């Protein structure tokens, strides 16, 4: 099947055209707003340097020192990030010259990444931000023929090419850096999306600490970080962007593996890179629909139930997937109490907990707090309140003490069974809002309003309703790309 598809592939004309085809970013007042969060902006600048430095080394005969001299050079940049966004072509001129068509695809997708974050970091209202992100997505797809598909692609299929796995096996330290970059680029979206501005820096304290203490150096990660795993709230609202960013990062992985494959000569590498580009292009998947397609093929556009912004993973089905560090899970169920999650018009009632490098959606504030308590480290809880437009963000320390800039918040929490926890576990912006809810729900007439400090101290254990999911194998990645480097 694959061989027939690839033989029939017709590369678009722009891919071999000598004419310049670069498109400038959308003009907007929010451009470069990410610099209102200086540490994040500079860390993202360092990511650009790291990518370009590694690629230039790979194509200029320095692959032998990629894990030593080049790795050290990149790490110095990460720890001393540049103040301004670099020109990657100036850092990797040989790579840009050899693979100009790839640079067009990378650069255009990176523009979408950057402008989307600029919108989230701007002074626009939440409603204005959502409208502007929709405009950015339309602009990205309509202005250049080299846009990446926003459909969910099958990651197992794309990572099953003859060259797959070469880079992570031969260069585990540099691969860890690449996947660390992608972790940050995914995690930053829910850090900002509909989050009060005065919580951005507090949240980035936690994200940045995790990034530098673990994510950049983790050579044992089973698979690249997926967008919806790190920013499920943003991915649920903008699944096409989430898919496009995952497809971009998979293209990075495919290119890495091709460049690391010593069995390919220069012409073969160029052909395989063009083929990898073609497989993720928007134009290749024209007239296809999300949620449809044949299993494990180029046009497998199925996605996880409850997570439209994520394609099929290794060993997964629409009902169940394996998440590195977490095990088998259903995206339709709370990861703390295993009850079904609020959905459709009530999806905004979901909470999330970020800790130890992952972000999980859970059913209620109690589930978020208690799930965080099962792990060591600092946590970020994002909890809905009675007002769909007011999100409560809590930043916790290693002892479970939480900080928030929202003053006067109180909590409702009753003794009860978890099948109804989303009814008796609520956060309220004020005591007045709490009293109004209790008066309208007399079954809670004896409930007391807990302060943040009192509520934090109630952290408990996993509930009796929790069900650990069992997949067909313990870990589908166990023997994935474990062979000798080629």
- On the question of pLDDT at 485 being above 70, the answer is no
What is Dmax (Cα atoms) for the chain?
A: 75
Average pLDDT over residues 167-171: 96
Indicate the pLDDT class of residue 7, thresholds 50, 70 and 90: very low
- pTM for this entry: 0.95
Q: What interhelical angle do 126-143 and 100-120 show, nearest 10?
A: 170
Average pLDDT over residues 383-398: 96
Mind listing the pLDDT tens digit for each residue in 289-300? Answer: 999 999 999 999
- On the question of pLDDT at 55 being above 70, the answer is yes
Percentage of residues in the chain with pLDDT exceeding 70? 97
Average pLDDT for the chain: 93
Indicate the pLDDT class of residue 9, thresholds 50, 70 and 90: low
Percentage of residues in the chain with pLDDT exceeding 90? 85
Average pLDDT over residues 67-95: 95
- On the question of pLDDT at 135 being above 60, the answer is yes
Q: Can you tell me whether residue 479 is helix, strand or coil?
A: coil
- Per the document, the length of the chain is 486
Residue 306, pLDDT score: 86
Mind listing the pLDDT tens digit for each residue in 247-296? Answer: 999 999 999 999 999 999 999 999 999 999 999 999 999 999 999 999 99
Contact in structure between 148 and 280 (CB atoms under 8 Å): yes
Contact in structure between 250 and 224 (CB atoms under 8 Å): yes
- On the question of pLDDT at 4 being above 70, the answer is no
- On the question of pLDDT at 8 being above 90, the answer is no
Residue 479, pLDDT score: 87
Q: How far apart are CA 52 and CA 134, in angstroms?
A: 29
The residue ranges of every structural domain in the chain are 9-18+29-303, 339-456
Q: Is 177 exposed, middle or buried (0-12, 13-18, 19+ CB in 10 A)?
A: buried
Select the CATH number that applies to the domain covering 339-456 from these four: 1.10.10.10, 3.30.450.410, 3.60.70.12, 3.40.50.970.
Answer: 3.30.450.410
Mind listing the pLDDT tens digit for each residue in 10-46? Answer: 789 898 877 777 888 999 999 999 999 999 999 999 9
Residue 483, pLDDT score: 53
């Amino acid at each position: 099947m694959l061989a027939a598809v690839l033989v029939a592939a017709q590369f678009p004309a722009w891919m071999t055209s000598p004419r310049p085809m670069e498109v400038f970013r959308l003009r907007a007042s929010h451009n470069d707003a990410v610099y209102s969060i200086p540490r994040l902006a500079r860390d993202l600048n360092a990511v650009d340097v790291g990518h370009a430095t590694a690629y230039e080394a790979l194509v200029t005969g320095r692959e032998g020192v990629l894990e030593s001299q080049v790795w050290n050079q990149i790490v110095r940049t990460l720890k001393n990030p540049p103040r301004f966004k670099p020109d990657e072509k100036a850092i990797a001129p040989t790579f840009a010259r050899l693979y100009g068509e790839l640079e067009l695809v990378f650069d255009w997708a990176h523009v979408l990444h950057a402008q989307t974050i600029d919108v989230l970091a701007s002074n626009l209202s939440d409603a204005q931000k959502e409208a502007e992100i929709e405009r950015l997505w339309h602009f990205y797809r309509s202005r250049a023929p080299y846009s990446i598909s926003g459909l969910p692609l099958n990651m197992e299929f794309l990572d099953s090419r003859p060259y797959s796995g070469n880079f992570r096996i031969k260069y585990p330290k540099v691969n860890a850096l690449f996947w660390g970059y992608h972790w940050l680029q995914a995690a930053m979206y829910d850090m900002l999306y509909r989050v009060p501005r005065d919580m951005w820096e507090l949240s980035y304290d936690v994200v940045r600490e995790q990034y530098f203490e673990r994510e950049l150096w983790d050579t044992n990660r089973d698979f690249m970080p997926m967008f919806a795993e790190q920013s499920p709230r943003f991915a649920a609202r903008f699944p096409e962007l989430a898919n496009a960013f995952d497809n971009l990062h998979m293209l990075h992985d495919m290119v890495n593996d091709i460049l690391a494959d010593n069995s390919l000569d220069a012409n073969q590498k160029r052909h395989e890179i063009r083929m990898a580009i073609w497989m993720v292009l928007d134009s290749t998947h024209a007239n296809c629909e999300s949620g449809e397609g044949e299993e494990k093929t180029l046009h497998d556009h199925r996605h996880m139930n409850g997570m439209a912004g994520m394609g099929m993973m290794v060993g997964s089905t629409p009902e169940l997937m394996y998440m590195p560090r977490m095990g088998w899970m259903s995206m339709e169920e709370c990861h703390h109490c295993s009850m079904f999650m609020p959905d459709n018009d009530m999806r905004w009632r979901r909470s999330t907990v970020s800790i130890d490098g992952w972000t999980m959606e859970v059913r209620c504030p109690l589930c978020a707090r208690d799930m965080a308590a099962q792990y060591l480290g600092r946590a970020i809880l994002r909890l809905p309140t009675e007002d769909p437009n007011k999100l409560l963000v809590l930043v916790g320390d290693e002892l479970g003490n939480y900080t928030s800039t929202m003053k006067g918040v109180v909590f409702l929490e009753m003794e009860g069974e978890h099948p109804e926890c989303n009814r008796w576990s609520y956060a309220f912006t004020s005591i007045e809002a709490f009293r109004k809810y209790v008066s309208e729900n007399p079954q809670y007439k004896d409930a007391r309003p807990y302060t943040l400090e009192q509520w934090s101290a109630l952290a408990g254990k996993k509930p009796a309703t929790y069900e650990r999911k069992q997949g067909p194998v313990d870990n589908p990645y166990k023997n994935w790309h474990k062979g000798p480097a080629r």
